[in-house]
Structure 1
Amino acid sequence: MLRNATKPLASAARSPQLLIRAASTASATPAKTRPYRQKANAASPPSSLPPSSRTGKNQAFRRKKSSTGGEEIRLLSPYVLSQRLRQIIGEKGLDEAVAYLQSMPRDAQNTPVWNLVIKEAGAVGRCKLAYKLYIDMKRRHFKPNTRTFSALAAGLATVTDWENHPSLLELAHSAFDDYWALMQEIKTNDSTSPELALNPFNAFLRLFTKAKQWQKALDLYNSLDDEGPLSPTHFTYSAVILALEMPGERLAADIRHLWRQIQKRIDNGADTQLDAHVLTPLVSALTGGRSADHIMAFDIVRTYVGYAQPGDQVPATPPVALSSHLFFTILTLCFETQKYRRCIQFLRKAMVSDQRIIDFRHLNLALRACHALAMQGSLYDASDALQLLEWAYERSASFPAHDPRDELVRTAQHTTTLAICAHTTDWPAALRVFQLITGHAPEDFADGAPARPARPSPPARGHLPREVYPQGLTYFVRTALSTDDPAVARQCLRLVDAVGLRRVLGRDRVRLAGGDEGGEMQQTARFFGQQATMAVVALANAALHAKADVDVDADDAEARRWRTLRKLAHDLVPADSKKERRPSSVLEERPRVTTQELKAMDQDVKLDMITRDSKIRRS
């Protein structure tokens, strides 16, 4: 018996790999699902494998003849192991999959299998586990590739607070050093290898930028080649531009230098594709620079996007497709450089050619540009703002209910438009905005109108804003006061009475009384609530000729209603309303410069650019 028992050991001794594989497999895999040793005439792989692995024997298993003859060793392939790991991750979790992988024989593993678990670990935010798997992978003599470092960088990118994770930042530096050493090794051996890729590089560059290591990001960018597979791409430019936007200052000089490098590569025939991801941070960085930087930004927008002031030559087909974020950055450039009319002009052009990218941010910025022009003394911007608002309503009406794109119209746009009407004393435009908000027809509240309807007309769209807020009511009443027309005052009072002053200010009554200090938003609501009530009191006095007992051009019932409205407004105004601090509302601010000063500034900038060009030609 002893002699017979030693026969299998003798055959295993002649094949030590078989002995190790059989021992490790017997301890890690149940007997029913053990695929490593089967009969040669087995019809199919074990039933415990995923369905995709039971089709195609050559794909699922690698075959090896046994030294004893008559039997065949069927080895687990990395493809089947990957399928099993995905199944285990979905059913039992990542930790079970890692333990299962570490118990498998080395012949069943390869670099893509380890990349799978590293990627899954990073996807759930377990960055330290992903790095431990990366180290374990190298200890088992599996060489990392580009996808390994892409998975590592993607996992580390999930970290949002790098200040509280210094150890993870050290791991990120170590992983990047390994990646860059691998790229240099591949470049030395085969400069045309497909493994030479900058996807991990760009991911690490964005990672270091998010970790506020801007100088590190710039040093990495400067280490790239001028040409070849390791030269910058448009993703690289986008990441390095973000790295140049350090807090507290905008390095516009570095941005200009970087832009010249990009143009030089394009002129030299490099395959450098510019898109909205590159131009968005570029234009944003130049917006914070000097006047010469602003001119460069507008020139970039004209050349690559096709948006310019009337008379400038633009390409027939712009090379860069306009995106929503890029368009908002362009409008911000116009607004911050106080090119208000250009801001409105660009939005009108997009309303014709690029409607799909317009959202509430663009409309808000254009209306603020109209408001800035109104504050400078322009008398024609209330109609422009009203046209933009009416277009937004028509655009929203084309979307189905509860569509995310239907958020084009918001309360802030009504408030801004009414503020423009107040500054330009445009009462017809204010009536139209009030009609869009409430549904009340203005002609039903004019002098001599027939019996007014008890309810407003049904809204064209039930999910559009239908509420009047204190800030909008303030500007609406101020517009009526600025006309100095008793008929307008009476029409405004009738509309305010129909909407309900208590309904508008009732939700803010505690804050109006000073019972809730709150933050900036609370202070703004309290301030404009007081302004609205005081404006209603002044309007009621104007309609009654500033005397409570005088009743002109109004019947007794209407006069009593206005006195009741005035008393209600008095009750809602706190006694210390004059002590209320004015909030930091952009609609209450005065313009920083006048139109004449802007024209003089433009002339100075043009003269400066002409002087620079002449110096360059002489040199």
Structure 2
Amino acid sequence: MISASSCSTLRAARKLVVEPLACLEHHRARVALLSQQQRRNHTHSPAPEQPRRRPAQPIPSTAQLKPRANRPSTNPEFKANSTSGDSERPKRLLEPYVLSRRLTNLATEGRLDEAVDMLQNSPLDASNVKTWNTLLLHCMTEKRFKLGYKLFTDMKRRGFKPDARTYEVLFNGFSRIQEWEQHTNQFKNAQALWKGFLQYIGQLKQTNPNHKDITSNPAAFYIMILSANKEYNAMFDVLDDLDQEGPFAPGEFTYAKLFNAIAYRTQLAPGDKEKVTYRNASDAKLLWKDLTKRAVKNPDLISNYTIVYFLKTMMKGRPADQLYAFDFVRDYLGLSKPGEEAPPRRIELVPMTLDAVLLLCLSSQKYRLCIHYVQQIIDEASASAGQCVVDHGHMDRVLQSYASMTMAGSVGESDRAVATIEWMHQYCALGWKVQPQASTYGWGLMACWRGGDWASAARITELMTGCHAEDFVDDSPNLTSPRLDGRSKGRMIVPDARDMSCLLRAALASGEVANMRQCLRMATFFGDLRSSGRAKSMDVYLVQDSHSRNLTNTIATKRDESFYSMKVASMLANVLTRVLEGTDSAADTPEMAVWRGLKAKAKKILRESAKPDHGTPSSELQPLGSAEGLEATERYVDYDLATRSQKPGKIAR
């Protein structure tokens, strides 16, 4: 027997099955009725009217077609690229590298202020630290130091943390300031910048002691800034701020700038009575000891730049400091004195280092040693058939040594000067970098006049100009038309006022009137060549020549040209006095008449010229110095040799 609950369940199930079927039948009947009505309406409705056809139109040309810019594309594939307005154009964020490129373009076009406005008005996410560094670099390059530091402050205010490159750019820019008296605020900014840099490095060390951004390069630029502001004690404090080893230890560049600052220090702290050059040498030796300790783990710290500045400092110190420098040259550069065995070089010898060594020899009056060092290097290059480091500048030092020894009373140095210049001509043709320059001939002529050697002076003039000295002697067949050998560009050098003063002094020192007449004819000939129609013969030597060459050495600077012009006038008057002595003006030849007029002109220039406001050029001074200095040097040398000889030697076994 079925219960009441079972009956209700059966009725519900029957309802779920029957009701959907009834709905389906009802839907079918409704669809059939609608179909009959549509057929009946279609049977009784009239035929539709055919649409009128429009007359054919010509196809417009491409030029007549107008773009429909406001009509969006119906193709969903290209709808994103539609130009129907900003609402349908895809948005692109301004990338930092794009902004950096725009800033660079504006800065290179001279629109730096516009670049600053663009950066300051750009969205924060469009720039980063590298973008700000780019504009900071342009500010420092354009010497807009105040603007650069203002940008640095604005950069931090906007939440950008400076990195190592930021500090390096700023310190590098500040180090280029020449007149710090006009940038006192920037010096304070540089000091604050250094404190911020130390804090930045400290934070990096806490994160990773070997972080890639830890660098000591900004320290070198900061040392330059302190040196320019004469803050020498603070300069050494920077070295204490750096680590003993690791990425924040002082590098080659840092030590080079320290030695450079010491070499050119001109004053000490107030109250310090020690001579500044002596203090510089002492500080340089202490700094070198610190460098050698660090170089045990990092040999690259010892560079040629460091050695150059170290030697420049030591050559101005006491005689004992100079002896220390010569030992240094032997131990590190492998250049030995005569009789010593040269040890292997610990660092490669380059031209600037060799020049510093030769300057050390000249400043300590060791002229023979200067020549010996150059000859030693030439012999090494010849034996190995390698490239020789000696160039024309080093050969100038050799000729300067000959001139200095001649002034000290040595005999035969002028002949050696001629042989040296002839050797330079020969080896220049073989490819060595020893082509004689104007300064080369100048030092050779100076050695000749100091030795009173007119023949050597005439030979150097031939090598210098390509002339033939015998064409200017008395009764020469070529006296009216002297010969001049052809020279390639840059090899034919016409004597200037300094060279002509040496020629006149050499002829006068020889004591032969025939040599003086020969010199006068050469002077007239070269005066015509040098003037090129701007003046009459010797006039170009009697006044300061605006077309005179600029020599790289200190032997003939622009300031010395007036000195040598007056020297030419003085020597010319003396030579002409000797040549015209005992002659009668009534019986003068045309040449003698010209010389009389030249003598009167030279004396007039000497009378009318005011006292020169310049000093005597260094090449005209006594190279050996005072007697007191020579005695002091001798005492130091004797003491050093005595102490060395008393040192105990090795015990024989």
TM-score, scaled to structure 1: 0.74
Matched with 1:333 is 360
TM-superposed CA distance for 1:336, in Å, is 0.7
Matched with 2:404 is 372
Q: Quick one: which of 272, 295, 302 aligns to 1:274?
A: 302
Q: After alignment, is 135-144 or 341-350 more displaced?
A: 341-350
Shift in CA distance, 386/156, structure 1 to aligned 2, threshold 3 Å: same
Tell me which amino acid in the other structure corresponds to 1:313. Answer: E
Matched with 1:564 is 593
Shift in CA distance, 346/562, structure 1 to aligned 2, threshold 3 Å: farther
Listed one character per residue, the Cα deviations across residues 65-94 of structure 1 (whole Å, up to 9, x for unaligned) are xxxxx9997544333333343344445722
Instruction: Say if 1:471 and 1:529, in contact at 8 Å, map to a contact too.
Output: no
Matched with 1:548 is 583
Matched with 1:302 is 330
Listed one character per residue, the Cα deviations across residues 483-535 of structure 1 (whole Å, up to 9, x for unaligned) are 445654564455456556995531355689xxxxx976424412332212311
Q: Quick one: which of 370, 383, 391 aligns to 1:343?
A: 370
Tell me which amino acid in the other structure corresponds to 1:164. Answer: Q
**Inter-partner Cα distance in structure 2 for 1:317 and 1:519:** 41
Quick one: percent identity of the two aligned structures? Answer: 25
Matched with 1:240 is 258
**Inter-partner Cα distance in structure 1 for 2:245 and 2:525:** 71
Partner SS for 1:507: helix
**Inter-partner Cα distance in structure 2 for 1:181 and 1:613:** 54
Listed one character per residue, the Cα deviations across residues 142-165 of structure 1 (whole Å, up to 9, x for unaligned) are 211101101111222232111111
Q: After alignment, is 470-479 or 151-160 more displaced?
A: 470-479
**Inter-partner Cα distance in structure 2 for 1:599 and 1:359:** 34
Matched with 2:616 is 584
Q: After alignment, is 330-339 or 456-465 more displaced?
A: 456-465
Matched with 1:16 is none
Structure 2 residue 263 is the aligned partner of structure 1 residue 230: no
Instruction: Say if 1:493 and 1:562, in contact at 8 Å, map to a contact too.
Output: no
Matched with 1:358 is 391
Matched with 2:471 is 444
Structure 2 residue 226 is the aligned partner of structure 1 residue 193: no
**Inter-partner Cα distance in structure 1 for 2:113 and 2:517:** 75
Q: Quick one: which of 441, 444, 463 aligns to 2:490?
A: 463
**Inter-partner Cα distance in structure 2 for 1:91 and 1:164:** 27
Shift in CA distance, 441/222, structure 1 to aligned 2, threshold 3 Å: same
Tell me which amino acid in the other structure corresponds to 1:379. Answer: V
**Inter-partner Cα distance in structure 1 for 2:163 and 2:485:** 64
Tell me which amino acid in the other structure corresponds to 1:417. Answer: G
Tell me which amino acid in the other structure corresponds to 2:640. Answer: D
Shift in CA distance, 44/348, structure 1 to aligned 2, threshold 3 Å: farther
**Inter-partner Cα distance in structure 1 for 2:598 and 2:408:** 32
> What does residue range 281-430 of structure 1 map to in structure 2 within 5 Å?
281-324=309-352, 326-349=353-376, 353=381, 358-360=391-393, 362-392=394-424, 409-410=437-438, 412-430=439-457
Instruction: Say if 2:201 and 2:214, in contact at 8 Å, map to a contact too.
Output: yes
Instruction: Say if 1:292 and 1:605, in contact at 8 Å, map to a contact too.
Output: yes
Structure 2 residue 179 is the aligned partner of structure 1 residue 147: no
Partner SS for 2:337: coil
Shift in CA distance, 207/378, structure 1 to aligned 2, threshold 3 Å: same
Instruction: Say if 2:448 and 2:506, in contact at 8 Å, map to a contact too.
Output: yes
Tell me which amino acid in the other structure corresponds to 1:506. Answer: D
Instruction: Say if 2:525 and 2:537, in contact at 8 Å, map to a contact too.
Output: no
Instruction: Say if 2:527 and 2:541, in contact at 8 Å, map to a contact too.
Output: no
Partner SS for 2:450: helix
Instruction: Say if 1:480 and 1:488, in contact at 8 Å, map to a contact too.
Output: yes
Shift in CA distance, 462/452, structure 1 to aligned 2, threshold 3 Å: farther
Q: After alignment, is 295-304 or 232-241 more displaced?
A: 295-304
**Inter-partner Cα distance in structure 2 for 1:465 and 1:332:** 28
Q: How many residues align?
A: 532
TM-superposed CA distance for 1:355, in Å, is 5.3
**Inter-partner Cα distance in structure 1 for 2:110 and 2:402:** 59
Matched with 2:145 is 127
Listed one character per residue, the Cα deviations across residues 288-333 of structure 1 (whole Å, up to 9, x for unaligned) are 1111211222222223333333333334455134143x33322221
CA RMSD, 1 decimal: 4.1
Matched with 2:32 is none
Tell me which amino acid in the other structure corresponds to 1:194. Answer: K
Tell me which amino acid in the other structure corresponds to 1:529. Answer: A
TM-superposed CA distance for 1:562, in Å, is 5.5
Tell me which amino acid in the other structure corresponds to 1:387. Answer: A
Tell me which amino acid in the other structure corresponds to 2:138. Answer: E
TM-superposed CA distance for 1:576, in Å, is 8.9
Matched with 2:233 is 215
Instruction: Say if 1:397 and 1:461, in contact at 8 Å, map to a contact too.
Output: no
Shift in CA distance, 479/103, structure 1 to aligned 2, threshold 3 Å: closer
Listed one character per residue, the Cα deviations across residues 531-573 of structure 1 (whole Å, up to 9, x for unaligned) are 12311331x25xxxx421599xxxx9xx735633541343123
Q: After alignment, is 156-165 or 520-529 more displaced?
A: 520-529
Listed one character per residue, the Cα deviations across residues 275-300 of structure 1 (whole Å, up to 9, x for unaligned) are 12111111111111111211222222
Shift in CA distance, 133/591, structure 1 to aligned 2, threshold 3 Å: closer
Shift in CA distance, 388/79, structure 1 to aligned 2, threshold 3 Å: same
Listed one character per residue, the Cα deviations across residues 170-223 of structure 1 (whole Å, up to 9, x for unaligned) are 111111110111112212331111111011122212222223222211111122
Partner SS for 2:603: coil
> What does residue range 144-183 of structure 1 map to in structure 2 within 5 Å?
144-183=162-201
**Inter-partner Cα distance in structure 1 for 2:418 and 2:388:** 18
**Inter-partner Cα distance in structure 1 for 2:631 and 2:339:** 18
Instruction: Say if 2:504 and 2:568, in contact at 8 Å, map to a contact too.
Output: no
Shift in CA distance, 213/614, structure 1 to aligned 2, threshold 3 Å: farther
Partner SS for 1:230: coil
Whose radius of gyration is greater, 1 or 2? Answer: 2
Q: After alignment, is 418-427 or 334-343 more displaced?
A: 418-427
Shift in CA distance, 225/508, structure 1 to aligned 2, threshold 3 Å: same
> What does residue range 451-600 of structure 1 map to in structure 2 within 5 Å?
451-452=478-479, 454-464=481-491, 466-485=493-512, 488=515, 491-492=518-519, 495-496=522-523, 498-499=525-526, 503-509=536-542, 521-538=561-578, 540-541=579-580, 546-548=581-583, 560=589, 563-574=592-603, 577=606, 584-592=616-624
**Inter-partner Cα distance in structure 2 for 1:40 and 1:237:** 65
Instruction: Say if 2:449 and 2:505, in contact at 8 Å, map to a contact too.
Output: yes
Shift in CA distance, 606/42, structure 1 to aligned 2, threshold 3 Å: farther
Q: After alignment, is 427-436 or 575-584 more displaced?
A: 575-584
Shift in CA distance, 549/607, structure 1 to aligned 2, threshold 3 Å: same
> What does residue range 597-616 of structure 1 map to in structure 2 within 5 Å?
601=633, 604-605=636-637, 607-608=639-640, 611=643
TM-superposed CA distance for 1:398, in Å, is 8.3
Matched with 1:95 is 113
TM-superposed CA distance for 1:115, in Å, is 1.4
**Inter-partner Cα distance in structure 1 for 2:126 and 2:177:** 33
**Inter-partner Cα distance in structure 1 for 2:110 and 2:514:** 76
Instruction: Say if 1:115 and 1:148, in contact at 8 Å, map to a contact too.
Output: yes
Structure 2 residue 471 is the aligned partner of structure 1 residue 431: no
Instruction: Say if 1:435 and 1:442, in contact at 8 Å, map to a contact too.
Output: yes
TM-score, scaled to structure 2: 0.71
